[in-house]
Chain A
Amino acid sequence: MSDDLVTTIGLEVHVELKTATKMFCGCPVGFGGEPNTRVCPVCLGHPGTLPTMNEKAIEYTTKIAMALGCEVAPRSIFHRKNYFYPDMPKNYQISQYDLPIGSHGILEVEVDGQRHKVGITRAHLEEDTGKSLHMGGGGRIHDADYSLEDFNRAGTPLVEIVSEPDITSPAVARAYVGELRSILEYLGVSDVRMEEGSMRVDANISVAPPGERGVKVEIKNMNSIRSVLRALQYEEKRQRKVLGAGGSLDQSTRHWDEKSGKTNPLRSKEEAFDYRYFPEPDLVPVEPGVEWLRQLKEELPVLPAERRRTYEDDLGLSAYDAQVLTATPGLGDLFETALNSATQADAKQIANWVTNNLAGLLAADGEATLDTVKPADLAGLVDMVAAGDLSTNQGQDVLAKMLNTGKDPKALVDEAGIKQVSDSSELESIIDSTIADNPEVAERIRAGDQKPFGFLMGQVMKATKGQGNPKVVTEILKKKLS
């Protein structure tokens, strides 16, 4: 019965901009460090202080709005959002209300071959809060004896991106967050590190029969794209179970617990929220004007979606490869430069080496980063494999060495004297002696039992010190044993 229930998800994503200074004062933006050392009278909310707008933050937010296909407001203003919280110095947050910088955008994602359009309600600019450290009670706010406030983060430019409730499944939600993160990384406006909180995702999820309005449940504390998926899957199941059992849900906020893999209800404040928004009198309106907007538009980079399209349509890459290559700007850049300098290898082969071998090695080894590999060297390596001078296995060894030493493949190949023997006369003598050394095995194969073929194959490769061209060896062996 719960099969005909529909899941509706809306996401609210907060992104810290990586400007040099805070939104409304000249304090440096940063992560970690000694508490209360990146603060000034302004971001501490001292009496008499006034905010001054960070031009770069306005530009970044406008670019985000553009990249999300939003209408960029010809006139936007800041409002004060009034509520008391000890991590908020002025006890009001300078935010945007009815005139955000961006509105009515769209973000398209693909999940197992299915395209989903997710509407963007708004993208607005505000200031981040400080951080509370909860002391006692295991560091949980509910059981803490008291808290400590660090305002280093207070005032960091924060863009809030609110989606329409267009998301129909946890998988689509994950894809949306992933795509959004790629776009922001391409724009170079944020570190988008969910673990460090420079990208924070809250979700509203409801389950209801088609056409009916479900009860919105808000999920907080999802600190990775994976936990977004897990939390929403858990919550979806939970709500379906309750409804399936004829129970009812109540509007609430739940906290995702990574360890237990469960969402737990947050004790809700009985106080009704009333933010008393009003236009911030200390700041004047922003009216970018066509010229400024045109300039910002020109500065927009090629975005992941467009890149994916060219990779698939023009270069004939698989959807998977295109996806992996465009997820972060770095991989795609490496791939494109390598492809340009390659002489033998084609796009598919280069892509393959980047997505499988290189990505694998990078994941395995923590030190090595993308920029340890010179695109030209990668191209050179894949060319050698394509030319048959190296086997795939040999190539992987060389690539590993390239990551550690930063040397180019030619040099490494010569040093280690690695080469692939494809010369059949040379191989034949080796094969003959191997057969001679294993007469009964050879007999069984001739008798039609193919099982030991692999063993014999291995013996030959061993004898060639792994440098025999597997294709050629197989051919000769087959011929001699038929």
Chain B
Amino acid sequence: MTKKLWEHAGHELAGLVASGNVSAVEVADSVLSRMEQAEPDVHAYLTPTAERARADARKVDQAKAAGEKLGPLAGVPMTLKDIICTKGVRTTAGSKMLESYVPPYSATVAERMAFAGLPLIGKTNLDEFAMGSSTENSAYGPTCNPWDLGRVPGGSSGGSAAAVAAGQAVVGLGTDTGGSIRQPAGLCGVVGLKPTYGLVSRFGLIAFASSLDQAGPITRDVRDAALVLQAIAGLDPMDSTSLPNPVPDYSARLEDGIDGLKIGVVKQISQEGVSQAVQTRFRGAVSILEKLGAQVGEVSLPTFDYGIDIYYLIAPSEASSNLARYEGVRFGLRIDAPDVLTMNSRTRAAGFGAEVKRRIMLGTYCLSAGYYDAYYLKAQRARTLIRQDFERAYNDFDLLVSPSAPTTAFAMGEKLQDPLTMYLSDICNVPTSLAGAAAMSVPCGVSAEDGMPVGIQFMAPALGEETMLKAAYAFEQELGFDAKPAIWSAS
């Protein structure tokens, strides 16, 4: 076997473990050693959990020894974005505020992944409280893009995307509020899926914007994405917004093909504002879909142009309320002061980074007396228009596609000084978030300009994951994208 264990996709490793060819502990050790190798360059992890990983793996091996039937991802080393609460394991949200916070409970998704037998390799880096598109807003330093260490991995789930792309984890979970799974997946050349709002429990995801947050898989291929989604999807009584709908078997129809499937190319986010190199790759991807028998047409969703603006009125407003609990009383950082108000204010000033403060200020302003109707309420109405735009589009199409991001990964620091242009790097992803629908990013090649990965975004109506995965799988198989970052083989 020339391929090292850590190089395999999850479903391959699970097969090896289930058939007894290798032990889960061997797999974990392989990935852990790979982590040691790549981590100094990539800095994907905030809290590695090697011992926990081996203990989890040992449980899988014991289950196997006891003759238990192993799940389709049992023994596959995973990483969790460090905004997903893990009982007994420090969870920072990438913030100084929670530097020493150890949750007394675990997120539902963390428990379901553990139940599925995936050993926890560590907690990965992110933009502070998931606010950002480059992972440069982490209080613990940026994560580097494995394809070019001078570039950002995207964000906010940049740590998970980079870890999976660099072989430091086989699968990972990220969270996506306005593109935070899809955009970094696209920029790192991996698969990232943002589920329909309500399909995956939010219980234990440190809240950014409650009406938008969703957790989802970041994986090396579409099949793993389907399997991870299978593990985490479904009703959770701890989340009142979680959907009671039965969860289909996402792997069952993967290979059905897309002959005759109607796919719409979204005009608004496939041209202006999208770099030439990305457009070229994207057009190539679209022709592959045609080649596979899909009926491709262009579709116009006028309200898409308003997505970012609507998003930046709604998300910060909710965030300003969600982040009020960090004030130095029950957990987290405290800067002492003679009275509570001063203690709160100094604690928050010291504990939050610039982007978080900016969004808290923006959101507080949008909700404050005299502005609520003009900003938050107006944005909530506009949000309805976006949903309606999608509904119209899905009358004519089964799926929509667009680039996953307007450009390839940009240089570290390039957009740090200008929030607005940074915000615009989520332009392709925000509309589906506002609509609460499903979307995923799949690699569609590398840019002819800079050799950086480019992703195609598949969008589906609410609970359209099955069709979306089927199309993504067919596309992935046909394209056969197997390029890897240089550091992949540098070992």
- Classify A-B as touching or not with yes or no (CB < 8 A): yes
Residue of A nearest to B201 (CB): A50
Is there an interface contact between A46 and B324, defined as CB atoms closer than 8 Å?
no
Q: Is the CB of A90 within 8 A of B325?
A: yes
Interface of B is mostly: loop
Whether, in the assembled complex, B98 has its beta carbon less than 8 Å from a beta carbon of chain A, the answer is yes
Closest to A279 in B: B380
Our pick among A44, A281, A283, A284 for the contact of B318 (Cβ within 8 Å) is A281
When the two chains form their complex, are residues A84 and B240 in contact, meaning their CB atoms are under 8 A apart?
A: no
Chain B residue with minimal CB distance to A83? Answer: B324
Is the beta-carbon distance between A44 and B324 smaller than 8 angstroms? no
The CA-CA distance from A151 to B331 in the complex, in Å, is: 14
The reply to whether A52 and B240 form a contact with Cβ atoms under 8 Å apart is yes
- The interface bits of chain A over 149-167 (1 if a CB of B lies within 8 angstroms of the residue's CB, else 0) are 1010000000000000000
The one of B204, B317, B326, B344 that contacts A278, using a Cβ cutoff of 8 Å:
B317
For residues 364 through 384 of chain B, which have their beta carbon under 8 Å from a beta carbon of chain A?
A: 364, 367-369, 372, 376
Chain B 433-449: CB-based contact to A (< 8 A → 1; otherwise 0): 00000000000000000
List chain A residues, Cβ under 8 A from B329. 86, 149
CB pair A278 B372 closer than 8 Å: yes
For residue A45, CB closer than 8 A to chain B, the reply is yes
Check if A349 is an interface residue, CB within 8 A of chain B: no
Q: A82-B367, A89-B325 are in contact. Are A46 and B105 (CB under 8 A)?
A: yes
Does B303 interact with chain A (Cβ within 8 Å)? no
Closest to A280 in B: B210
Give the number of residue pairs across the A-B interface with Cβ within 8 Å: 97
Interface residue from B103, B330, B376 paired with A89 (Cβ < 8 Å): B330
Task: Kindly state the separation between the CA atoms of A282 and B372 in the bound complex, as whole angstroms.
Answer: 19
Interface of A is mostly: loop
Contact A46 B321 (CB under 8 A): no
Total A residues in contact with B, Cβ cutoff 8 Å: 30
| Beta-carbon contact of B341 and A84 below 8 Å | yes
Contact A282 B240 (CB under 8 A): yes
Given contacts A50-B203, A281-B210, A283-B240, contact A80 B103 (CB under 8 A): no
Q: How many whole Å from A100's CB to the nearest CB in chain B? A: 19
Contact with A along B94-107 (1 / 0, CB 8 A): 00001001011101
Cα–Cα, bound, A90→B84 (Å): 18
Residue ranges of B at the interface with A (Cβ–Cβ < 8 Å): 84-85, 91, 93, 98, 101, 103-105, 107, 202-207, 210-211, 237-241, 317-318, 320-321, 324-327, 329-331, 340-341, 344, 364, 367-369, 372, 376
Q: A49-B105, A277-B372 are in contact. List 20 more A-B contacts (CB 8 A).
A: A41-B103, A44-B330, A45-B330, A46-B325, A47-B85, A47-B93, A48-B203, A48-B207, A49-B203, A49-B204, A82-B320, A82-B367, A86-B329, A89-B325, A89-B330, A91-B324, A274-B368, A276-B320, A281-B318, A282-B210
Q: A residues within 8 Å of B by Cβ?
A: 41, 44-53, 80, 82, 84, 86, 89-92, 147, 149, 151, 274, 276-278, 281-284
18 pairs of residues in contact across A and B, judged by CB atoms under 8 Å: A41-B104, A45-B325, A47-B85, A47-B93, A47-B101, A48-B84, A82-B367, A84-B324, A92-B324, A151-B330, A276-B364, A276-B367, A281-B210, A281-B211, A282-B210, A282-B240, A282-B241, A284-B240
